[in-house]
Structure 1
Amino acid sequence: MEGWIPTKRLKKITEFADKFCGTVEPIHRNIYLYFDNVLRVAMTDGCANADIFFSKEFFPFKNTYEIPIQHLKGLLKGLKSNSSPFVRMLALDEGLKIELDEMILNIHSNKNSTIPKINEDKITFLFEMRLKEFLELLDFASVHSYEGEFIHFFSTKNNEIYALSENFNISAISFFIKNNIHFNRLIPFTTVRHIIKSLSLISSNEVIKIFLGKDHIILKGQGFIISTCSEVKEEVIDFKLPDNFIENKKIKISSLKKSLNRIYTSIPQGLPVYMVFSKKSHIVSKDKNSTLTWNLDLNFNHNYLVEIKPRKLRSLLARFSNDEINIGLSKKFIALFDNNKYILLKVSEYSD
């Protein structure tokens, strides 16, 4: 069967798949083109599966065609939709032919190709929110983690839903919504970042719905559905954000972000860096025979010492919407927070 697909649409699908499948496992860098009432594409990163509406303007066919993402990127590179508005696709038993200008991509049929499936049986609705807000919260809670780590997605005994990650002595926490369904899941960091990067290509005005499956989490939006694997933890978490602060005030973080940026540039990676909150707040680090100090325009009644990773902390601070945020200090934690985003820093030393 022959059909014509808008080049602009194929570009969007390819860009989405490129972000979603990532580069960690080259074996997963394919899309699966198939027909089920409409033309659809499926993909996987090995943990998360996605299924996306492609086009309703196409004749039915029976086969599934496995197409390397890299081939599509090469086919589309440098092309402008207005000069080459359509891509010709010919779906045959022996394979799929894609023609664009003078380029032809032939994909041979593979009977062993298996479409990444999404299990929608016995799923429970959790909540819905604007896609932009959901991605901002998920991004905040995961950005300072590393490959091989997990993002904690859970509800508490107080019926609050959070995403949380811990790295070094920093915790990044996002609050989503209240819900009386209790769950406790761990999602691979790499998959979380794939989901954020790919869904960021979709209109921010979209609404996303989140569902809970037996051992997976499902995200549904207009024209797409994503299922991600998750490690199930049985215990209900008795989690509560700290609020019993010794000191609590609002601060502006623009100068702090600049200082952290300078520190990251000035010192070798891996060197200990300390932030001191006191009447004369400052950041200090020692490199061989040198001591580097950056004074901060912050004043507190007591003394709090925190070891930090400058790049990671700056990355989190950059994701606050406002320059003015709240800071709460206690003997155990320093909390930086605004709206539904929280940074917790473990205090190494405290004194009056």
Structure 2
Amino acid sequence: MNFRLVSSDYSKLIDLFGRVSGTVEPSYRYFQIYYRRGLKFFATDGCLKLEFSSSIPVDPFTGVYSVPIDYARALKSSDEKSFVSFSSEGETIEIKTDSETLSLQKARDDALPAMERKFEFSSRFPLKEFNESLNFVSAASMEGDTVEIFSKGSETILAASAGRLVLLSILEYEPRTDFHFSLQYVTVRHLVKTLELLKTQVLDAGSGISELGLKAGTLLFSICTDETEFPKPPSFLFGETASGVGVQKKAFLSALRKITRLSRRGFSVLMISDGKKLKLFLKAGSLRYECEISAFSGEEFVIQLDPRKLQSALSRINDSLILLLMKKGNLLMVGKKSKMYLLIPLIN
């Protein structure tokens, strides 16, 4: 094996692999190099798998060379026009710049990484829009939760349940086949961070035997899925929201930032409408705190919520105005332009 990368491309690859593997499980913080109908690079977090097909010409070689990402990161250079060279001999791989050499012994294995490569691609999305929706619905979740992606008629739905919050985003791109995937929260966050780096504008999605496949240019993602199934979203989520009362997102976020300074993580607060004003209320021991969000000419209601989770979710809605309306015992908060929804049960 013998090839070289422009330093700027090397830096982009290392950043990409670092986001795929994440930091939750250090044993996955490496990338692999192998030959399979051309030069390939691979990284994983144990569930999310990425294979990059490089166009760099290289003679066929056998085996797989593994390189710890944190070691490889040390060779990143600010000189974008320089080169990083890779060579191998037996079980040793050597990575060189003009002034540095990283040599790793016993870095070679025989087995190619296992991942699905054959998918029935049925959906195509603008990558930025898909990733913004994925980022929104996973904003309030935590490790152990799942994020759902499924078809509904002519639309694709992304959804997650986080405590008393249900988050849902609608993508108006009709899939050719029905599907339902449940993705692990940690893997979803790694995917969101990875897709943020890509310049590709289009993302293709498809079904494999047991995994979700995503293709963005020369990058192929294979993602393991869980067997859980998200409850069917109520039909009113897909209905008219024109009757909602608008509140500026900026006012929501300002009030939520203040009340999170006074509440411990995991604490719930009340959001109250008296038909004239919208307020947040906190009671913790001897502390009582009330904060007016804005004037509000809607219905009276009381809901209980985690202010940090709501702040995280609202900050990701791509609308300056949030519509509030009552729907069958729930408060529905809607970003109408972006088709992003928050559903919170009312306190009777």
**TM-score relative to the length of structure 2:** 0.90
Task: Work out whether residues 275 and 308 of structure 1, in 8 Å CA contact, stay in contact via their aligned partners in 2.
Answer: yes
* Change beyond 3 A, Cα 1:234–1:159: farther
Number of the residue aligned with 2:339: 340
> Partner residue of 1:80?
78
Structure 1: state its 5+ residue gaps.
Answer: none
Displacement of 1:290 in angstroms is 2.2
Q: Is the 8 A contact 1:274 1:307 kept in 2?
A: yes
Structure 1 113/315 Cα, relative in aligned 2: closer, same or farther at 3 Å? farther
Q: 1:294 aligns with which of 291, 295, 305?
A: 291
**Cross-structure match for 1:169:** 164
Indicate if the aligned counterparts of 1:184 and 1:233 stay in contact, CA closer than 8 A: no
Superposed, 1:133-282 pairs within 5 Å as 133-156=129-152, 158-176=153-171, 177-179=173-175, 181-203=177-199, 205-232=200-227, 237=232, 239-242=234-237, 243=239, 248-278=244-274, 279-282=276-279
Would you say the 8 A contact 1:248–1:328 is kept in 2? yes
Which amino acid counterpart does residue 220 of structure 2 have in structure 1?
I
SS at match of 1:271: coil
Instruction: Give secondary structure in 2 for the equivalent of 1:335.
Output: strand
* CA-CA distance at 1:342 after TM superposition: 0.9
Q: Which residue in the other structure is 1:11 paired with?
A: 11
| C-alpha RMSD of matched pairs (Å) | 2.4
SS at 1:325 equivalent = strand
Q: Following TM superposition, by how much is the alpha carbon of 1:343 offset from its aligned partner in structure 2, in angstroms?
A: 1.0
2:20 corresponding residue in structure 1? 20
229-238 vs 257-266, which deviates more? 229-238
CA separation in 2, counterparts of 1:186 and 1:141?
13
One-letter identity of the residue aligned with 2:16: F
CA distance in structure 1 between the aligned counterparts of 2:291 and 2:35, rounded to whole angstroms: 61
Deviations 1:303-330 (A, max 9, x none): 2111111111111111122212322223
Aligned residues: 343
* Equivalent-residue separation in structure 2 for 1:37 and 1:124 (angstroms): 21
Contact 2:135–2:189 (8 Å) recurs in 1: yes
Gaps of 5+ in 2: none
Aligned equivalent of 1:310: 307
After TM superposition, give the deviation of residue 133 of structure 1 in Å. 0.8
2: CA distance, partners of 1:178 / 1:220 = 17
Partner SS, residue 75 of structure 1 = coil
Identity of aligned residues (%): 23
Deviation of residue 302 (structure 1)?
2.9
Instruction: Report deviation, 1:7.
Output: 1.2
Matched residue type, 1:70: D
Counterpart CA distance in 2 for 1:52 and 1:184 is 26
State the Cα distance separating 1:299 from its structure 2 match.
1.7
Contact 1:210 1:218 in 2 (8 A): yes
- Change beyond 3 A, Cα 1:142–1:301: closer
Distance 1:332 1:47 in 2: 37
| 8 Å CA contact 1:39, 1:55 repeated in 2 | yes
Task: Provide the rounded CA distance (Å) in 1 between the counterparts of 2:211 and 2:234.
Answer: 22
* Bigger Cα displacement from structure 2, 183-192 vs 328-337: 328-337
More displaced 10-residue stretch of structure 1: 94-103 or 211-220:
94-103
Alpha-carbon contact 1:183-1:236 (below 8 Å) kept: no
What is the identity, as a one-letter code, of the residue corresponding to 1:285?
Answer: L
Shift in Å at residue 233 of structure 1? 5.5
Q: What's the CA shift for 1:249? A: 2.5
Q: TM-score, normalised by structure 1?
A: 0.89
**Does 1:116 pair with 2:116?**
no
Q: Distance in 2 between matches of 1:270 and 1:109?
A: 47
